[in-house]
Amino acid sequence: MICPVCQETLKFYCSCKDYLVSGETFSVLKCPMCGFAATENPPGPDQIGKYYHSEAYISHSDTRKGLISMIYQWIRRIMIRRKRLMIEKISGRDSGSILDIGCGTGHFLHEMQQKGWKVEGVEPDKGARDCAYGQFQLKILDSSALEAFCKESREFDVITMWHSLEHIHDLDGTVEKLKKLLRSGGLLVIALPNRTGYDASIYGKDWAAWDVPRHLWHFSLYSMQKLFQKKGFVSKGVQPMPFDAFYVSILTHQWKKDSFPLLRGLYTGLKGWWYSRKKVQASSSLIYLFSHFKQAQSQSAEA
Ligand SMILES: [Zn+2]
């Protein structure tokens, strides 16, 4: 496997277990140059579906059973509002067109629509699409819509991917599509687990956000910025997602069947949250902000 950032051959990094669904073990490979990592030999697009078949896969099923799910739902409400405020502040707009790729059950798009944004969503899971329609009357499209949008030369003021890029097999193709679909000067927002954050360093191979084989790519701050810069994007900053440290840490202890998972997870989560206030790299997840300037690029190409 070759690094998409620097073309180096990826080397073995660790073995991770799929605690959520299959119990199978997958190797994670890492680039010795930039730190980009990938799950080795993951199930292909036609086989991966069964690895999502879990009641506990909350972002698809909207299940409300259990304490962890309740915490997840509560945090999600807070996070959705923070996401909107962040987008409105950084893009300098309080309305416009937004495309959410991997929109799950549509909670974020619903919030944006309520506040006057023109929304479009793409989600591969049919159950989640149906749920978005049932709850919010949102007509979410399947993944083939991205290709169709590109052919129609559709452009969006804002494109968001909240923890979805790491699930998509065609990484290079997706980045190319993002370039086409983002209006020149628009805002691209990509949230990803941070495999070099504090909680990841504490839990090592057991860190819940490895989430193999569903997570195909495992980015570090450096490798993610390098990849998008290589593709012509301009960084508009990186922001921490402070609450993810709690969720991921509790989940890690729960999956390992440790005693007192909530208490222990809260303790690591609190420490991770505290460190990420001082240093963004310590954050459990990171929000990458990019822009892309089509006009400026074609002008410099002509010159
Ligand atoms: Zn690399």
Tens digits of per-residue pLDDT, 35-92? 999 999 999 999 998 898 876 555 555 555 677 777 777 878 888 999 999 999 999 9
Whole-prediction pTM: 0.90
Choice among 31-35, 135-139, 272-276 with the minimum mean pLDDT: 272-276
Cα–ligand 1 centroid distance for 10 (angstroms): 8
> Span 105-111, mean pLDDT?
96
Cβ(110)–Cβ(136) below 8 Å:
yes
Tens digits of per-residue pLDDT, 143-181? 999 999 999 999 999 999 999 999 999 999 999 999 999
Cα–ligand 1 centroid distance for 284 (angstroms): 21
Q: Where are the domains positioned within the chain?
A: 11-302
Provide the residue type at 17 as one letter: K
Cα–ligand 1 centroid distance for 167 (angstroms): 19
- Give the architecture-level CATH label for domain 11-302: 3-Layer(aba) Sandwich (3.40)
Cα–ligand 1 centroid distance for 29 (angstroms): 11
Question: Residue 59 in 3-state DSSP?
Answer: helix
pLDDT of 303 = 43
Paired tokens of 268: 């690591």
Cα–ligand 1 centroid distance for 282 (angstroms): 21
Cα–ligand 1 centroid distance for 221 (angstroms): 12
Cβ(258)–Cβ(268) below 8 Å:
no
pLDDT category of residue 122 using cuts at 50, 70 and 90: very high
Q: How many other CB atoms sit within 10 Å of the CB of residue 259?
A: 7
Element (H, E) at 153: none
> Span 272-300, mean pLDDT?
83
Cα–ligand 1 centroid distance for 9 (angstroms): 8
DSSP character at residue 86: H
Cα–ligand 1 centroid distance for 230 (angstroms): 12
pLDDT category of residue 260 using cuts at 50, 70 and 90: confident
Q: How do beta strands 156-162 and 182-193 pair?
A: parallel
